[in-house]
Structure 1
Amino acid sequence: MSYCLNPACPNSQNPSDTKFCLTCGTKLLLKDRYRAIKPIGQGGFGRTFLAVDEDKPSKPRCVIKQFYPQAQGTSTVKKAIELFNQEAMRLDELGKHSQIPELLAYFTQDDRQYLVQEFIDGQNLAQELAQVGAFSESQIRQLLSDLLSVLQFVHSQQVIHRDIKPENIIRRSRDRKLVLVDFGASKVATTNALNQTGTSIGSPEYVAPEQARGKASFASDIYSLGVTCIHLLTQRSPFDLYDINEDAWIWRQYLISKVSDSLDKILDKMLQTAPSRRYQSVEEVLKDLNPSPAQVTVISHTPATPAKPLKSSPVTPPVANKPPNTSKSQIDIELEALKAEIMGGSTAKNENQKSASPQPPSSNPAKANSQVDLELEELKSQFLGSPTPKKPPQS
């Protein structure tokens, strides 16, 4: 199939090997190489066609954009011409990125302007949403991670896209990467341009408030991307997701599946109507989307310190041929304390017995003391493994 690009042609379809339209006689090959084979879109300022490049042996597919303004008024047509020209300029500058279509040609033929660009084989996100349904959180995170890097490059070239929406994001079939297309509404963000009020442009459902007033900034693209995300999460028109009476987003009540608090906060900041409360750069969004380990707050549950045991010091067995230690060991100290406790308890017991009924005093206190010493030595030997001292003969 070969398609005639003459807007006035009553029968645009021709055989694929024809060089001139059989109906109106218009030349079918643009620049003697690009042949339109099917119309794929039409807007107020032009038409888009799927085409093939017959100058190459493989005849790769490409896209032809024909400037064909249907709007009336000199100022409107003048603005349309300006936008068409600047799209060619932006693609020439930005098409070096692997996720932005490459500009192949830009020329005038038969008093009409044409732009030829790389064809991206795949579905746009609006088509994908209609086919597979609402996106999950993991899909939205992947979308943001993939597309923000493209937007980061665009902004680094001082360009504001100004028309981010599902229809302008294509998932490329061969590698599933997202490709940002349609730079017809883009704007160079020079200092003078940002300080001046320009033309309100963009899709009303996705456009940022300040952009609607002709004051687009880099943050305006971030807003439009945020609106794109909540549309994909809810499968509802963005107009339904904003309560104009409350001046607040109500997208959460239309969620098909819940999202985490972290993603909720990111989207909330992307969607702030006041630009000063919104993310100011793509880098800020990426920082929150992929926090570094140092940014992650880790709540450490430190176990309580165990109470120190009163007598938990391990007893080290004596080492052979080790000279004796002249200082008192821990066991000696504890045994002496035990002896004092025993002797003190015996004295108190004797005093109680004496007050109750007179008893003769012990005939041999030294003997009692010696018996305690002997028992304590036996206890010490059990700990140290030393020989048990012999008992003194009974008197």
Structure 2
Amino acid sequence: MSYCLNPRCPKPENSDVVKFCLTCGSKLLLKERYRAIQPIGQGGFGRTFLAVDEDKPSKPRCVIKQFYPQAQGTNTVQKAVELFTQEAVQLDELGKHPQIPELLAYFTQDDRQYLVQEFIDGKNLAQELVEQGAFNEVQIRQLLNDLLTVLKFCHARQVIHRDIKPENIILRASDAKLVLVDFGASKSATNTALNRTGTSIGSPEYVAPEQIRGRAIFASDIYSLGATCIRLLTERSPFDSYDINNDAWIWQQYLKTPVSNELSRILNKMLESIPIRRYQTADEVLNDLQKSPVAPTPAISAKPVTISPSTPQPAGNSKSHSQIDRELEEMKTQFLGGVKPQKNKINPPTSTSQSTSKSIIDDELEELKAKYLGNNNTPNQ
């Protein structure tokens, strides 16, 4: 199918063999190569479509973003233009990272701005949460290790994402890597930009307090990632995991599976409302994660049984004669040379002193056996 990109087209669906919309006559191919096939999202600044690249033999899928602001007012529209252009610039730089979509094209057609980016095949974490249920500690640690390296890459290039949430993190089907998408709200963190109050952007549930006031910093992304983890662990909105009256996070009360004290401490530090008390860099969080790995479950192994003739055996837990004979034989073997004789092996003749020692040991072991069996009047069946 071909989908017409004219926002006012009453019937945008077309067959995939035509080049112009049969309803409104608009050109269906962007730059003579990118064909939209279905809408996949719409926000305040534009619309998003799944598309194919007709210029390549394999016709790989891609994503078209069309600038189409819904808000009114000169200042608002100007800000929308600025953000859309900025997203293209950011993707052009950041798309070199394997966990950020690559920018394929940025252009204007029919007086509308477009950007085309790599398609990430997979489900976002909000969808994963609905289908798979709450995440556990191992999954959250994997998520943090995966995404903190992406944030480190972005922050090193002076980019603050400003909209980290489950919907903007895709679990890529091909390699199970997490991909950070939607840089439409991202901000360049130059010194002048950081010292200037900007626009409050982002999803309120996940936004750090300073970002709400238009003063986003690198640590604001760390806060949003922490709030994302709380959402995935509890299946609740971060709003519902915070006690406003006592100014305290209470997410631990709503956990589906318990987490370690170490992970709780790390998440709470990511979620500090006062920025200076929060982790300042992705590296700081990664270092604490590495210092407190998940403790492996200890292997269950049977303890060796030792016979103590002076200690009576508990009732109902007595041993059979054959078991006692085997254990005494092992003790005898250890006394006589430390190696258990093997079957079908010819042993050299022993000296007289060895025979005498063997006789003494036999007598002592028989006494132990007699003492032990004296505590057990009824032999096992």
Gaps of 5+ in 2: 294-381
- Name the SS for the 1:290 alignment partner: helix
Residue of structure 2 equivalent to 1:63: 63
Q: How many residues align?
A: 293
- Name the SS for the 2:257 alignment partner: coil
- Name the SS for the 1:205 alignment partner: helix
Offset, 1:45: 1.2
Residue of structure 2 equivalent to 1:209: 209
Alignment of 1:177 onto 2:146: no
- Identify which range, 60-69 or 284-293, moves more after superposition: 284-293
Percent of residue pairs bearing the same amino acid type: 78
Offset, 1:212: 0.4
Gaps of 5+ in 1: 294-395
AA partner of residue 197 (structure 1): T
Residue of structure 2 equivalent to 1:36: 36
Alignment of 1:91 onto 2:91: yes
Once superposed, what is the RMSD of the aligned Cα atoms? 0.9
Alignment of 1:25 onto 2:25: yes
Offset, 1:246: 1.1
Inter-partner Cα distance in structure 2 for 1:225 and 1:284: 14
Residues 344-383 of structure 1 correspond to what in structure 2 (within 5 A)? none
Residue of structure 2 equivalent to 1:128: 128
Alignment of 1:232 onto 2:238: no
AA partner of residue 45 (structure 1): F
Inter-partner Cα distance in structure 2 for 1:161 and 1:68: 21
Inter-partner Cα distance in structure 2 for 1:23 and 1:195: 51
Inter-partner Cα distance in structure 2 for 1:132 and 1:197: 40
Residue of structure 2 equivalent to 1:49: 49
Give yes or no for contact 2:262–2:292 (8 Å, CA) kept in 1.
no
Residue of structure 2 equivalent to 1:101: 101
Residue of structure 2 equivalent to 1:78: 78
- Name the SS for the 2:52 alignment partner: strand
Residue of structure 2 equivalent to 1:280: 280
AA partner of residue 76 (structure 1): T
Q: Give CA-to-partner distance per residue, 1:162-207, whole Å, 9 cap, x none.
A: 0000000000000000000001111111111111111111110000
- Name the SS for the 2:63 alignment partner: strand
Residue of structure 2 equivalent to 1:241: 241
Inter-partner Cα distance in structure 2 for 1:105 and 1:135: 36
Deviating 4+ runs (over 6 angstroms) = none
AA partner of residue 60 (structure 1): P
AA partner of residue 185 (structure 1): A
Give TM-score scaled by structure 1 length: 0.73
Inter-partner Cα distance in structure 2 for 1:292 and 1:83: 39
Which structure has the greater CA radius of gyration? 1
- Name the SS for the 1:98 alignment partner: coil
- Name the SS for the 2:198 alignment partner: coil
Offset, 1:248: 1.0
